[in-house]
Structure 1
């Protein structure tokens, strides 16, 4: 699948109501372009693909909003919405925060968020200038998964490299 086909299929799968097959998401992932950590700085709103992964629906219960990459060594993986609607970095749930590195995953080097307090890696690929596809991987997960698949959309007003301290609602 070439990058144009992968972007088109990503958008179709994202609009799917109900379960999405991991194999289809893997095919899309393989067709997308890698991205460098410096290219994804800013605030991002998140969503997930329902693949039947045990994590599906759990982040929503925690009020997960998205991620903020202030700098390569200042990443906030769990931006959540509090009871008053405020956005905050849930350091307790994440056991700290994270940083961005270039890490090889499935034979390609791409931007990856490395959690400070959990053996978890979130790998990213570019769908377009305002959308990323993510695959969560970590210690104890076999090479063929199951993986948690998600996406991020750049928060309006957060152009690449915007160095504000948190996302705007």
Structure 2
């Protein structure tokens, strides 16, 4: 599986195709994720499709194994900052359309002081997922685990496992 194969799945594919691609990828070690990564969604019909992009999601920052900023956002002015995940209204995921989120993004610059994470809010661990031991990001205060597989040296495919939503949410991270 290569970046070209991933590009063939974008911008949208079925959950079955995304899972088959994910299952064909190699594991990634946690230490290989250290650094800042820019994210984008892989649309599969998940209730979250379009929400992160509309909200100004930038990606993730792995400072070391135990110090991760799981959500980086960019203000309309381009400032990148870590967001406190507990302020994300997970209960509204399937109730708010991306267009409404996008309209609300204009206030992101004003809300930055309130939303900004003061501490790292996740850590990396290696877990067995779908029969493969690979890196995963575990949120400190939310029932979320993001599992990663390697596409190439600069790209990983992530699958978000959110406890109350049985379908996986797919995203792509590329090293900054």
TM-score (norm 1): 0.79
| 3-state SS of paired residue (1:29) | helix
User: Which has a greater percent of helix?
Assistant: 2
Is the CA contact 1:103–1:112 (under 8 Å) kept in the aligned structure 2?
yes
| 3-state SS of paired residue (2:45) | coil
Gaps of 5+ in 2: 89-116
Matching residue within 77, 100, 106 for 2:124: 100
TM-score (norm 2): 0.76
Residue aligning to 1:76: 69
1:66-145 counterparts in 2 under 5 A? 66-92=59-85, 93=87, 97-142=121-166
Return the alpha-carbon distance in structure 2 between the equivalents of residues 111 and 28 of structure 1: 17
Return the alpha-carbon distance in structure 1 between the equivalents of residues 4 and 74 of structure 2: 31
Count of equivalent residues: 145
Gaps of 5+ in 1: 156-169
* Cα drift, residue 82 of structure 1: 1.9
Is the CA contact 1:34–1:108 (under 8 Å) kept in the aligned structure 2?
yes
Residue aligning to 1:166: none
Return the alpha-carbon distance in structure 1 between the equivalents of residues 48 and 121 of structure 2: 19
Residue aligning to 2:6: 10
